[in-house]
Amino acid sequence: MKGRLEGKICAITGAGRGIGRVAAELFAAERAKVFILELDETSGKAAEKQIRVNGSLAHYIKCDVSCYDSVQNAFRQIEENTGKLDVLFNNASVYLAGKDKKISDIEPAIWSKVLNINLNSIYHCCRFAIPLLRKSGGGSIINTASSAAITGIPKCDAYTASKGATVALSRSMAVEYGPENIRVNCIAPAAIATDMVKQSNPDGDDFDTSAFINLRTPLRRWGKPDEVAKLALFLASDESSYINGTVIAADGGITISGDLSKPTPRTLQPHKKYQRYSKKGFAKRNVMAMEQ
């Protein structure tokens, strides 16, 4: 059976864990050759090994997306290996809990680090990916933003700035490169149950996770990494061939929710199919940093 990405060459940043890892496995299962661009060698090689064990094609390249030279080297390897590229998924991101703050309190080094990883990485990757996409006659670029790019969220101004810029950049690129058959779209996740959320977001006295999930989130549950990865798969495939310049929120309805009602036993109960994603333990974590 022909795969949805049959014969396509795909590069995914931050593909060693979380959404990136799931996307790499999903893309490969749909018959793409996947280049795993990941700084952490252990997770990058593990992703490559798992995909190959599953009988699909993958190649790990150690890459620091915040470093121009590192990215240039990665795409040089892709060009030498395949000569072209069909899909670029700019997934890598970072959220520095406790260090990213309101703009008047952020240390310059933290501001620079977040912007370098979350925003400059997109410039770096697109700078070298677009010539390879042209060799394929076009292709798809998928950028990862966040609900923080759509709604105002306090005490993480470097993160929100980087994600807001990602949305604006995606739209301008869609207009700029659309005539060359290069589509650019953006995914804005929120409340996705990844290890990054659990590791980088300590409990905070000023954040009520229960209210966030059980009131602000219409679906009353955490999202799953594969739910975002499947959206990326769609945008990577020819099924989305007339979709360009969109920002798709993968957030359970968080960014459009104006629900200010008091919780009731009914509204506090997630759909039984997803109850395990809202159990005590994970649901006590903050929800800001959804990517990767």
pLDDT of residue 288: 42
pLDDT of residue 267: 53
Catalytic-residue membership of 68: no
Structure tokens belonging to residue 262: 């008091």
- Please count the CA atoms within 13 angstroms of the CA of 173 that sit on its side-chain side: 23
pLDDT tens for the chain, 292 residues long, are 679 999 999 999 999 999 999 999 999 999 999 999 999 999 999 999 999 999 999 999 999 999 999 999 999 999 999 999 999 999 999 999 889 999 999 999 999 999 999 999 999 999 999 999 999 999 999 999 999 898 888 889 999 999 999 999 999 999 999 999 999 999 999 878 887 666 545 455 565 667 777 777 888 888 899 999 999 999 999 999 999 999 999 988 888 876 655 555 555 555 565 555 444 444 333 444 444 5
Domain ranges of the chain: 9-200+224-257
Nearest Cα residue to 191 out of 227, 143, 230, 223: 223
- DSSP character for 120? I
Nearest Cα residue to 237 out of 16, 74, 29, 91: 29
Residue with tokens 């997306």: 65
Structure tokens belonging to residue 267: 């509204």
Structure tokens belonging to residue 289: 């940093």
> With contact defined as beta carbons under 8 Å apart, do 235 and 243 qualify?
yes
> With contact defined as beta carbons under 8 Å apart, do 234 and 240 qualify?
yes
Nearest Cα residue to 93 out of 36, 162, 157, 46: 162
Question: Which CATH number is associated with domain 9-200+224-257?
Answer: 3.40.50.720
Helix or strand holding residue 90 (H, E): strand 87-90
- DSSP character for 223? B
Candidate list 159, 177, 242, 274, residue with the active-site label: 159
